[in-house]
Amino acid sequence: MEASQQNAVGGGNKGRFRSICVFCGSRHGNRTSFSEAALDLGKKLVERKIDLVYGGGSVGLMGLISKTVFDGGCNVLGVIPTALLPSEISGETIGEVKTVADMHERKSEMAKNADAFIALPGGYGTMEELLEMVAWSQLGIHGKPVGILNVDGYYNDLLALFKKGVEEGFIEDSASQIVVSADNAEDLIRKMEERLGEKRMRETSKKRKIS
């Protein structure tokens, strides 16, 4: 199911994704809105025929979104380190599950197979995965859209910290534009599609100037 941003097909001023990697919690969280957001994001992926790449767990928000996408007829690729199998998989696995040696290989494999990244609410693991994708984008390791589904303001403080980093001179203003955020899946995917479309138009314009 390996995909790359170059394989995403687009038209007009929007891009289209074949697969999106979703980072999210192995717990449901204390608000029903978190679970509802995971289910809604899964439905939106199915509507657009977008495959899911995720952390491989069958519990918490991971279980909800993976089952929704799989039941909707799209491909699901879960990537999970061997050490996490007992805690993050309960009962039957969902879709294709690839077991890897450690967390570093997990992130590399998820990134390789996705056209974009979205973070739902989650704990330290979710935030670490999200921030690594942001850092990789800043370093030019990938040029794929990175989105935050800011359910009930869950990521407000993190977004404020990004802004603080710019104000204090630790983050370039241009790098502050890496992350796209919205409070619902429909708007977030639309913004990410537009971001990809804009990037492609710039690349096309640059190639024309060179030629």
Q: What pLDDT is recorded for position 204?
A: 74
Q: How far apart are CA 10 and CA 194, in angstroms?
A: 10
At 7-66, the pLDDT tens digits run 444 444 456 899 999 999 999 999 999 999 999 999 999 999 999 999 998 899 999 999
Q: Confidence band (pLDDT; 50, 70, 90) for 91? A: low
Residue 96, C-beta contacts closer than 8 angstroms, at least 6 positions apart: 1, 75, 76, 77, 78
- Distance separating alpha carbons of residues 199 and 110, to the nearest angstrom: 22
Token digits of residue 49: 């025929």
Rounded CA Rg of the chain: 17
- Domains along the sequence of the chain with CATH: 19-209 (3.40.50.450)
pLDDT of residue 70: 97
pTM above 0.85, yes or no: yes
